[in-house]
Structure 1
Amino acid sequence: MKVLQINTTLSASAPGRIAEEIGQVLISKGHSSYFGYGRKVRESVSETIRIGSFIDQTVHGIKTRLLDRHGFGSRQATMRFISQVERISPDIIHLHNIHGYFLNIKVLFDFLRCSGKPVVWTLHDCWPFTGHCSHFDLVGCNKWKDQCFECPNKDSYPRSIWLDNSRQNYNEKKKLFSGLDNLVLVTPSVWLSDILKESFLAGYNVSVINNGIDLKTFQINNGLMHTQGFGVEEDDILILGVANIWGKHKGLDDFLQLSKTLEAKEKILLIGLSKKQRRHLPSNIIGLSRTENQKELAMLYSRANVFVNPTYVDNFPTTNLEALACGTPVVTYKTGGSPEALDEHTGRIVEKGSITELKAALRSVIEAGKDSFSSQCRKRAELLYNKYDRFGDYINLYKQIIEKK
């Protein structure tokens, strides 16, 4: 079986790592794995195909910023990619994030419609069924249910600083993405699966396959020595936050408010901050830049007494799973599919934006002690989020689709 996956980044960010590890499972079972990508961060075990150049992506970015036509640039780059896909002739084409300034969705979906190739599409966010944004719930907008227009989220990714073409984008996406007989949708969360029932993608079958993680990398370690270099002492209570890009949507402001209520031996460690953000932190927040070193990240999860994820927009964050695998309880907002990773033995769920509830939940976990959660956290990760099980679900889905042809 030959499987081609497509994602914005190669082996980086949660969707990129998920695609990479699906490729690893495919190869371990004797199948062939190919990976089409826009930007490369790390190497891949799959045979890789870059889609477009830096110049192609820059032009696409300009078109997005000025004309709000994200997904409709990179025409020639996508046509060149399609010619390579035809040469490979994969049995399954698996889409992940197809936004990110590297693909022309009309060229791609015209090809998919004509080729008859079976397509699996894992939706990691809401961009496929909106006229502009990747997450509508930050601004509480429900126009995507019927017709996007006058977008209230135009300044969010993929940002447009001039025109609002959300109505045209919505109508073209609806036409392109609807009515493919060979398309199966997958969502990592029940939340997004339910959302799709209210969108123009409601006609498709949807499978829920949770994200998986590497339980050999993310396991309970002794991270004490590792964090002492950051100014964290052995007896400090460490509150951890992790994000690829920090901002209001990931709860950075909430962490700043939380820091004002901490006791003397309590510290916050935030991973993924920019240099500018790190310059403006209070003394009890330690800021680190983003890391692709998974073993280092696992040690930080293990050292933390609690992982806090005050996210305002999310599907099914792998950070929650990584924390659980390292034996660390999670406190998160009731946002998207984020609460689905937890039960009463592994963390706390609070209303989005309620700093009062967030403080109370954090205090509850700290006072109970990490040891009262740790074994249950690890067991839940082993039971539900082992990458070999979850990504094996994709292999089984591929086989079912091929057998039905």
Structure 2
Amino acid sequence: MFQIAETLEKKGDTVYTSASYTKPRGEIFPNTFYRIGGPIGKLEHIVLAKVTGYHGCYSHFATYKLIQKIKEVNPDIIHLHNIHGWYLNWKMLFQYLKTSGKPIVWTLHDCWSFTGHCPHFMAINCEKWKNGCFKCPLYKLYPGCFIDDSKKQYTIKKRYFTGIPNMVIVTPSQWLANLANQSYLNKYRTVVINNGIDLGKFKFVLSEFRGKYKLNNKIILLGVAFDWGPRKGINEFKRLAKELPKEFAIVLVGVSETVAKELPERIIPIACTQSQEELAEIYSAADLFINPTLEDNFPTVNLEALACGTPVITYQTGGSSESITKECGRVVPYKDYEALKKTIIEMKNAKKNMEAACQKRAQLYCREDAYQKYVTLYEEIIKNEKC
């Protein structure tokens, strides 16, 4: 959000950004940033949503103030990203958007906008969202509730999220665009704008990583995530640690202390790092990047690995495979662990021959190009509004 805003500001535009109340990680928010709500209001929203099942239907005062801020700014265009997470009353927001007369762009980062509850459903192969959710097997998971809220939430979402006269849906992957076009959002125009990465920071770099962890004679398999669990493929890595020959070493980045305690000794856990330079060193040191994710949209970790010259092996999951070609990695059938293991062994020495192709492929995902596509979309929409 901030980076898209910076792209516009370089053109001389004024951009207002807004998100829920969060503690900055050292960054300084610009004067044009508006924080939505606060920690007390968010806690209240969480408790009420879990008890009643009405996730996203509280935070009335915070949402009212946000709407007043939007009216004060009077923007040419309104761009939404994730609106779930117990900080916003999306019923109030969309009621305003329907009558605001403003063109809307909504970037979907998951499937939440057209389901009755869940952000992802691929792992359980659920298709209820196509006609109406009910008896949700995931209702206890994020955004978790004590009761199954899926049927009523689906009905409410469909009522509020449809019928906006001037909204464009953006998805980072073709996979998600295809799903949106099968949902009740199918009346809207859908545009695919892939995620981008900073190619100035993600590139092949030499480091002491192998020596530091005594991996000089090992084939390093790398996994990177920030919420390690079954959905991100932690179980596959545990099996690989038991079954692969000793010449392989597994490194996982983004591992919490709790998850680290559950890992086999053979897996080297590294805590979450905020340093892109440090992450680039780890990507560069790896021989293969393994992404056995079971639910994903268009993971930037694949792009980061490619930019550092490291081939990617991923399941045929969501949009994870869309950035991978046979010249820079392999895509194996969804949940086919044996195929994953076989492919890893076959490709253990592939980096030397694929490094240049990986880096070339990554050039397609320069973040500046992605943000410029948003700017072009904004300009097109505003021009059409004036006609």
Inter-partner Cα distance in structure 2 for 1:139 and 1:147: 16
Partners in 2 of 1:345 and 1:253 — Cα distance?
Answer: 27
Q: Name the counterpart of 1:375.
A: 356
Structure 1's 41 and 292: CA in aligned 2 closer, same or farther, altered over 3 A?
farther
Residue in 1 aligned with 2:289?
Answer: 307
8 Å contact from structure 2 (residues 103, 167) kept in 1 = yes
Which piece of structure 1 moves more, 80-89 or 123-132? 80-89
Separation of aligned partners in 2, 1:313 and 1:87: 39
- Equivalent runs, 1:137-148 vs 2, <5 Å: 137-148=122-133
Choose the corresponding residue for 1:386, options 357, 366, 377: 366
Amino acid corresponding to residue 131 of structure 1 in structure 2: G
1:35 to 17, 21, 37: 17
Match of 2:311 in 1: 329
Letter in structure 2 aligned against 1:392: Q
Query: What is the CA-CA distance between 1:280 and the residue it aligns to?
Result: 2.1
Residue identity matched to 1:95: L
1:191-218 deviation per Cα after TM superposition (whole angstroms, max 9, x unaligned) = 1111112100011100011111110011
The aligned runs of 1:149-160 (5 Å cut-off) are: 149-160=134-145
Number of positions where the alignment pairs a residue of Structure 1 with one of Structure 2? 382
In the other structure, the counterpart of 2:327 is 345
> Which position in structure 2 is the counterpart of 1:221?
205
Match of 2:53 among 68, 75, 79: 68
Corresponding position: 1:402 with 2:382:
yes
Q: Which runs of 5+ in 2 are unaligned?
A: none
**TM-score if structure 1 supplies the norm length?**
0.91
Residues 146-295 of structure 1 mapped to structure 2, 5 A cutoff: 146-160=131-145, 162-223=146-207, 225-229=208-212, 231-295=213-277
The equivalent position to 1:112 in structure 2, one of 91, 97, 104, is 97
Contact 2:139/2:149 (<8 A) preserved: no
Q: Deviations over 1:42-99 (max 9, x none)?
A: 3266521110100111111112322222111211111111111211111111111111
5+ long unaligned stretches in structure 1: 1-18
4+ residue stretches of structure 1 with deviation over 3 A?
226-229
- Name the SS for the 1:135 alignment partner: coil
Q: Which amino acid aligns with 1:376?
A: A
RMSD: 1.3
Q: TM-score, normalised by structure 2?
A: 0.96
Alpha-carbon distance in 1 for matches of 2:304, 2:23: 23
